């Protein structure tokens, strides 16, 4: 069992649905994005292309973040999810240095979206799950998977660009897509074995 995600860049048009869906699901504080969208432009006028690259934790097979974690807070679960134990994390942030995908965020102090006006009812409730002084990141919505639900970014994507499943199962939709559409992870040369694959635009 190895959970993985395939993101079809042909379908994605950079709407930010994943980014905001993730924010809503995890009640992440300002500036924290377990999912985000990076936009770039290539080519010269008029032969120009826009690149929309949805980013999240790549849930690497050999996670460099896990290797540097001094307390064992970052763990590679048997199902392939790389997760952080909030109780064990001491906020040293070595993992942030180690992650080549900039998928990790440090919750340095309590902050909320309307600043001095204080937390909203929603934030007051949601931010309780994010202790200050620890590192946080995407965990493929492990709490949803427990209830048989797909990750929030997968169910919201208006273009259905995201597919989630078991990379170890050759019959799974994710395995089929990677094979048929020549899916590639981001920066495979780093040798971390990401579990997120991208299909060409």
Partner 1 sequence: MGTPAGNGQAAQEDRWIPSACTICYGGCSILAHRVNGTLVKIEGNPASPVGNGRICAKGLSGIMILYDPNRVNYPLRRTNPRKGIGIDPGWKRITWEEALEEIQVRMEKLRAEDPRQLMIQVTTTLAPSSLLFFTFGWAFGTPNMWVAGGGIHCGNGAHAVGGIMHASWSLVPDFKHCTYALYFGASKGHGAGHAATPNMEQAADARARGMRMVVVDPICNFAASKANEWVPIRVGTDAAMALAMVNCLLNELGIWDADYLKTKTNGPYLVRPDGTHARDPESGKPLVWDAATGAARAYDDPAAKDPALLGTYEVAGEACRPAFELLKEHVKRYAPERAERITGVQAATIRRLAREFGEAARVGSTIVLDGVRLPYRPAAAIYFRGAQGHKNSSHICFAIDLLNQVVGAADVVGGALGFNPVCHGHPETGRPRYVPRAERDGLMTPGTWMLPHLPYPPAEPRHPDSMGFIELFPLSHVSPLMASADQEQWWQRFELPYRPKMLLNYGANSLMSVGNKDTVAETLGRFDFVVSFDLFLNEFSDFADIILPDASYLEVLDPRPNFPFIFNHPAGPGTWGWPIRQPVVPLTHERRSAREVLLGLAYRMGLGPEMNMALNVFYGLDGPQMLDPKKAYTFEEVADRELQHKFGPTHDLAWFKEHGVITWPKTMEEVYWRPFVDVRVPIYWEFMLGLGEKIRRIAASRGMTFDPAYYSPLPEWLPCPSHEVEDAAYDLYAFYYRDVLHTNGFTMENPWLDEASRMDPYSYRIALNTETARRRGIRDGDTVWVESATGRRVSGRVKLTEGIHPEGVGIAACAGHWSRHQPVARGKGVFFNELLEVDYEHTNPVNLNLDLCAKVRVVP
Residues that bind partner 1 (CB under 8 A): 8, 10-11, 13-17, 19-21, 23-27, 30-31, 36-37, 39, 41, 43-46, 48-50, 52, 113-115, 117-118, 120-123, 125-126, 128-129, 141, 143-144, 152, 155-161
Per-residue H/E/C for 73-137: CEEECCCCCEEECCCCCCCCCHHHHHCCCCCCEECCCCCCCCHHHCCCHHHHHHHHHCCCCCEEC
Decide whether 71 or 114 has the Cβ nearer to partner 1: 114
Provide the minimum distance between the beta carbon of 5 and partner 1 in the complex, in angstroms, as a whole number. Answer: 17
Contact between 9 and 49 (Cβ < 8 Å): no
Residue 13 C-beta: closest distance to partner 1, Å: 5
Residue closer to partner 1, measured from CB, 17 or 63: 17
CA distance 2 to 20: 26
CB of 57 to partner 1, least distance (A): 15
Report which of 197, 184, 160 is spatially closest to residue 12, judged by C-alpha positions.
160
Quick one: 36 or 192, whose CB is closer to partner 1?
A: 36
């Amino acid at each position: 069992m190895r959970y993985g995600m395939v993101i079809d860049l042909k379908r994605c048009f950079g709407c930010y649905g994943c980014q905001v869906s993730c924010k809503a699901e995890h009640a992440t504080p300002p500036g924290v994005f377990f999912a985000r969208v990076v936009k770039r432009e290539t080519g010269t006028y008029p032969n120009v292309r826009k690149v929309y690259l949805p980013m999240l934790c790549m849930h690497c097979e050999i996670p460099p973040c896990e290797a540097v974690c001094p307390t064992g807070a970052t763990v590679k679960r048997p199902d392939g999810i790389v997760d952080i134990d909030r109780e064990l994390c001491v906020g040293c942030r070595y993992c942030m240095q180690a992650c080549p995908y900039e998928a990790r965020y440090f919750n340095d102090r309590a902050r909320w979206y309307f600043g001095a006006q204080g937390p909203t009812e929603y934030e007051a409730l949601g931010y309780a799950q994010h202790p200050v002084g620890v590192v946080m990141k995407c965990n493929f919505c492990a709490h949803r998977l427990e209830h048989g639900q797909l990750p929030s970014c997968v169910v919201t994507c208006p273009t259905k660009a995201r597919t989630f499943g078991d990379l170890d199962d050759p019959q799974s939709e994710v395995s089929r897509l990677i094979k048929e559409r020549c899916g590639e992870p981001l920066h495979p040369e780093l040798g971390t074995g990401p579990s997120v694959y991208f299909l060409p635009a």
